[in-house]
Amino acid sequence: MREVAAEFKRPVMLYSIGKDSSVLLHIAIKAFYPAKLPFPLLHVDTTWKFREMISFRDATAKRLGVELIVHVNEEGIARGINPIDSGSTLHTQVMKTDALKQALELYGFDAALGGARRDEEKSRAKERILSFRSAGHVWDPRNQRPELWSLFNTRIRQGESMRVFAMSNWTELDVWEYIMLEKIPVVPLYFAKQRPTVRRNGATIMVDDKRLPLNCDETPQMRMIRFRTLGCYPLSGAIESDATTIEDIVAEMRTATVSERQGRLIDTDEAASMEKKKREGYF
């Protein structure tokens, strides 16, 4: 992280409000102490995030005194893109991938720090810590730089950029254990609570606001649920759980039998879908 601050002209930290982002931000604060963060946070808002995420985001930025940039793809809004009518694939492409590219270009960021981990998904396992993107933010899996020891090649040309995955070698369990150890605040949605939900395509979806159209046979039911991963609420599947504290979550993690991405509807579209999205510029 200090390498990024030292080597790039205009770095930014991507802040998704999730647990990984919370850890990443916490570590950044520690790394630069007593100085302030030498880069701003960027949140790409799809406008379909849980309401609790947005309030947590704003409270966090205020609490830590960090510069927060929120970017929304206005063009996507104007075209009426949303996860329900447009489908998850198009929504993700326009409101996340395209929006991120817009923001990076708008502000001229040459390095974007993110909290993605290698244990999340198969194509992530091969991702570099410094992931090179050519002009146009294209990720070519065959044109990545070898990374030996802790020696990173940070050289890029005008228009090219780096995605930096500082938490590549962390696992989901590591993240929770660290949150427990360092007492890092996270979005309350990670903790189990009675919430209004409906079941769709085998996933449990929380009814976060009135924008979720309910089928005639659906009535929201209160269930004791929590989230392992947070995204746009109509695309994030909850799990039934009684884990109300971090200690409970860590204990639950140790005996988990399904992966955290299971609840993410964007991954199941087709095999190797993450890789396709990454080639197109997804984080």
Partner 1 sequence: MTSIAMSKPVHPSARDQLRFITCGSVDDGKSTLIGRLLHDSKMIYQDQLTAVKRDSIRHGSADIDFALLVDGLEAEREQGITIDVAYRFFTTPRRSFMVADTPGHEQYTRNMATGASNAQLAIILIDARKGVLVQTRRHSFICSLLGIRHVVLAVNKIDLVAYSKVAFDRIVASYLAFAAGLGFSSIVPIPISARHGDNVVDRSAHTKWYHGPCLMEHLESIDIQSDTASQAFRFPVQWVNRPDPDFRGYAGSVASGRISAGDEIVVAASGRTTRIKRIVTHGGDLVDAEAGDAVTITLEDEIDIGRGDLLSRPTERPSVADQFAAYLIWMDNEPLAPGRNYILRIGSQTVAGSITAIRHRIDVNTCEHLAAETLSLNEIAFCNVATTLPAAFDPYDVNRKTGSFIVIDRYTNRTVGAGMIAFPLRRATNVPWQALSVGRGERAALKGQKPCVVWFTGLSGAGKSTIANMVDQKLLAMSRHAMLLDGDNLRNGLNADLGFSKAEREENIRRVGHVAKLMLDSGLIVICSFISPYRSERDMVRSLIGKDEFIEVFVDTPIEECARRDPKGLYSKAKAGEIKNFTGIDASYEAPIRPEIHLRTMEQAPEQAAEVVVDAVMARALLCDERR
Residues that bind partner 1 (CB under 8 A): 1-6, 27, 29-36, 118-119, 122-126, 129-130, 141-142, 144-153, 155-157, 164-171, 173-174, 177-178, 181-182, 256-259, 262, 271-272, 275
Phi–psi pair at 48, nearest 5 degrees: -120, 20
Q: Which CB atom, from 106 or from 159, has the smaller least distance to partner 1?
A: 159
Q: How far is the CB of 259 from partner 1 (least distance, A)?
A: 4
Residues present in the chain in total: 283
Cβ pair 40, 251 in contact under 8 A: no
Q: How far is the CB of 126 from partner 1 (least distance, A)?
A: 5
Q: How far is the CB of 154 from partner 1 (least distance, A)?
A: 9
Task: Count other C-beta atoms under 10 Å from residue 52's C-beta.
Answer: 15
Q: Which CB atom, from 47 or from 262, has the smaller least distance to partner 1?
A: 262
Q: Which CB atom, from 1 or from 189, has the smaller least distance to partner 1?
A: 1
| Buried residues in 13-22 as b, exposed as e (16+ CB within 10 A) | bbbbbbbbbb
Q: Which CB atom, from 1 or from 205, has the smaller least distance to partner 1?
A: 1
The token pair that represents 277 in the structure block: 């999205």
Q: How far is the CB of 62 from partner 1 (least distance, A)?
A: 19
Q: Is 54 helix (H, G, I), strand (E, B) or coil?
A: helix
Q: Which CB atom, from 22 or from 46, has the smaller least distance to partner 1?
A: 22
**β-bridge pairing 130-133 and 203-206:** unpaired
Q: How far is the CB of 222 from partner 1 (least distance, A)?
A: 26
Contacts of 63 (CB under 8 A, 6+ apart): none
